[in-house]
Structure 1
Amino acid sequence: MSPRIRGLLAFRAWLKARPQAADALFALGLLLVGLPQLFLEELPTGADYDHFRDPDVWSGLLVVVVTMSLTWRQRHPLPVLAFIIGGELVMAVAGYPPSVPDVVAFLIAVYSVAAHRGLAQSALGGLAGFVYFLVYLILLPVPTSLPVVVTDCALVVGVWVLGRNLRLRRAYFAELEDRAARLERARGTDARAARIEERSRIARELHDVVAHHVSVMTVQAGAARRIIDRDAGSAREAMSTIEEVGRTALSEMRRIVGVLRTDRDAEQAGRELAPQPGLGDLGELLDHVRETGLSVQLWIEGEARSPSPGVDVAAFRLIQEALTNTLKHAGPQARAWVRLYYGDRDLTVEIEDDGRGTATFMADSDDNPGHGLVGMYERVALYGGELRIGPRVGGGFGVRARFPLEA
Structure 2
Amino acid sequence: MSATPAPPLFERRSPATWMVLAWCAGSALTFLFRFRLPGESEPSVWPGVLLFRWDGMVTLALATAVTLAGCVRLERRPLRGLALLLAGSALGAMPLSVGEIPLLQFLAVDVALYFVAASRPRRTGAAALALALGTLGAYLAVRVLSGWPVGTSAELTVALTAVIAWLLGRATHESRAHAEQVRAQAAAQAVTAERLRIARELHDMVAHTIGIVALQAGAARRVIDTRPELARDALGAVETASRDTLSGLRRMLGALRRAEPGEAAEAAPLDPSPGLADVNRLAARTTAAGVRVDVRWLGTPRPLPPEVDVSAYRIIQEAVTNVVRHAGTGSCRVTVERQSKELRIEVVDEGKGTGTADSRGSGYGLLGMRERVSLLHGEFSARPGPRGGFRVAARLPVPAGAR
TM-score (norm 2): 0.43
Tell me: higher relative CO, structure 1 or 2? Use CA pairs within 8 A at least 6 residues apart: 2
**Structure with greater helix share of residues:** 1
Larger radius of gyration: 1
TM-score (norm 1): 0.42
